[in-house]
Structure 1
């Protein structure tokens, strides 16, 4: 496997790792080191990739950064009773141009995902999500992205790509592979009314911070349906972060962002996970520890993945049919996990994006709403997207 654009984990971090107890997570990882080179990825489930690229940050002023503190924090945590094998492949350095970095990241993700290894990206600016998305061009026909962010990042797609406008590029650049885009934790005052209206017109999903804080479980179906999960640290409230990282007094707290990371890990569909907009500062311990705990929870979730979406055998599920406004809605409940799905009908007369009946993850509450003659919003949006 050609990963010659990766630089090894620094000797400083490896020396720190040697001093840790043998039970620590860092002692159980396969690590890319200068001495031993890139580890054998046989049997590896998750591969950590640092990306030291931040030049498309709208506030970029030439500063560089490294991920040593995050690795130190992560390596020092203790794993759960996991069967999940994790490798740390080191970092992708800045290329000659940002496009070179995108290309290297895209290649690395495509290689890993083909091998059924989930890349876990720790990055600079969030526009790297565009390269992550492009890695799927040859992998899956339609991609679902979840962005955990206080903003939609739609931006002006006519201008060059930046970390606050990469979603516009994802929507408008060919090949068109985006099926669903969901934003978790958006804060209305950071988004123009035009952007909010555009999200509605495109039938994309958005979960306001207040709703997420009120009941974190509402985001689980969106994460269960995602291929790519991208987290912008500006979605986290300032009190949970170090000096340079603080953005807004309101935001997701540490527990909520870790719960979201765990939901992403549990999802059978999530095949790449990224944490972006890391900005180190002198008092860095809090941010690096929070990122380490988010990674820990993602791995923890991954370890508890259950194949519960096989509906070919009727012993695996219960089926429920309801009528809403003369529209038949068909729900499935997994016998293994109790998770729910709703069927999106196949419309033969429309050139729809889905070529068969598709099951959309949903909540028990959606079924209860349907019983009370209320159409579930996720179903409505997916149905409308199919009619386009």
Structure 2
């Protein structure tokens, strides 16, 4: 498949000539004159200048991906090989639904090839197109979303970026194994919707929980196959360029920490940043925040450990006994990263055990004689 037919090149000024050879722009291969050989890349950047799924977009709105790039290209390169290519901006379809399908095809090709696509800009409903890129896989997937709201409005008069999560949950065929949302704000969430998602055994974390238990968010993000980050989850002071700015939310530093966790996740195969509105962005502050978040995602990517062999000397195995069911629970700790995993056995014996990410606190809970909540949630899905 010739991916170049889906993309438009970036303008030569400012992307053709990096300001500093040691900067990110000096190490990237952008699509300016000729389409880069993406097969030799590890990470690929994709701009999404598609905002028909949101309200009140202006002509300047569509410059969002390029403005994020400008700030990203100026940052200094981090550690690692940084085999990164910028494929330019995805050409929108005739209709919004065509853009979803075009994004689906691109994600499908890149994920199959083992590349890590990072999506820049566009309205949050493009998460649906990102999700569709996993439909062809012969497995279920876990979606992690960071957003201040639950985009579960009924379709009708609302914009697509207000009800795309509803479409994902109702998608047929259903290949969504798990869903986690971080950073939602209770006064922006409908109580009935919250109750429905909890009944489906999904993980929901308020912004206060994320802030107070930041380290506990790491295993939550470590189980994700794809992740979507809406800029609305970040407070207005750090990201004013959003449609519904709020004085409360994640700080820019907390957002970067979550992106660092996400990048380190060996299982994560695509990451999207959505909701940026450049016409509302004071002194490009939001673009700078998002560019730094992308930088931390890439830096985390180059800290990945590769394939995990839980039977090797890389891991220490712990066994915790119980009086009831389960009678025994196994934990694994990576000697180098000190990250934890937990074995979840199918109590019916019909399925093979799952080894899922967990935290040290989950292990301590089991040692105290209580079954960790994460183990219970996984049992309900098996």
CA contact (8 A) 2:231 2:242 kept: no
Relative to structure 1, is the Cα distance of residues 383 and 326 closer, same or farther in structure 2, using a 3 angstrom cutoff?
closer
Counting only pairs closer than 5 Å after superposition, residues 123-142 of structure 1 correspond to structure 2 as: 123-142=121-140
Residue 205 of structure 1 aligns with which residue? 203
Structure 1: runs of 5 or more not aligned:
none
How does the TM-score come out when normalised to structure 1?
A: 0.92
Shift of 1:242: 3.0
- Partners of 1:248 and 1:140 lie apart in 2 by 40
Shift of 1:160: 8.4
- Partners of 1:356 and 1:134 lie apart in 2 by 27
- Alpha-carbon RMSD across the aligned residues, in angstroms, is 2.0
- Partners of 2:140 and 2:39 lie apart in 1 by 28
Relative to structure 1, is the Cα distance of residues 61 and 294 closer, same or farther in structure 2, using a 3 angstrom cutoff?
closer
- Partners of 1:246 and 1:196 lie apart in 2 by 21
Note the alpha carbon deviations across 1:144-202, whole angstroms, 9 max, x for none.
00000111222326888811211111111111000100001111111011011011100
- Which 10-residue stretch deviates more, 156-165 or 279-288? 156-165
Give yes or no for the alignment of 1:39 onto 2:36: yes
- Partners of 1:192 and 1:348 lie apart in 2 by 36
Note the alpha carbon deviations across 1:99-146, whole angstroms, 9 max, x for none.
111111111111111111101001311111111111111124101000
CA contact (8 A) 2:154 2:163 kept: yes
CA contact (8 A) 1:236 1:251 kept: yes
- Partners of 2:15 and 2:156 lie apart in 1 by 44
Q: How many residues of Structure 1 are paired with residues of Structure 2 in the alignment? A: 377
Does the residue aligned with 2:267 lie in a helix, a strand or coil? coil
Give yes or no for the alignment of 1:380 onto 2:376: yes
CA contact (8 A) 1:26 1:76 kept: yes
Structure 2: runs of 5 or more not aligned:
none
Residue 295 of structure 2 aligns with which residue? 296
Shift of 1:338: 1.6
Residue 356 of structure 1 aligns with which residue? 352
Relative to structure 1, is the Cα distance of residues 299 and 324 closer, same or farther in structure 2, using a 3 angstrom cutoff?
farther
Residue 264 of structure 1 aligns with which residue? 262
- Partners of 1:103 and 1:2 lie apart in 2 by 16
CA contact (8 A) 2:43 2:115 kept: yes
Counting only pairs closer than 5 Å after superposition, residues 271-350 of structure 1 correspond to structure 2 as: 271-281=269-279, 283-307=282-306, 309-313=308-312, 316-323=315-322, 325-327=324-326, 328-348=328-348
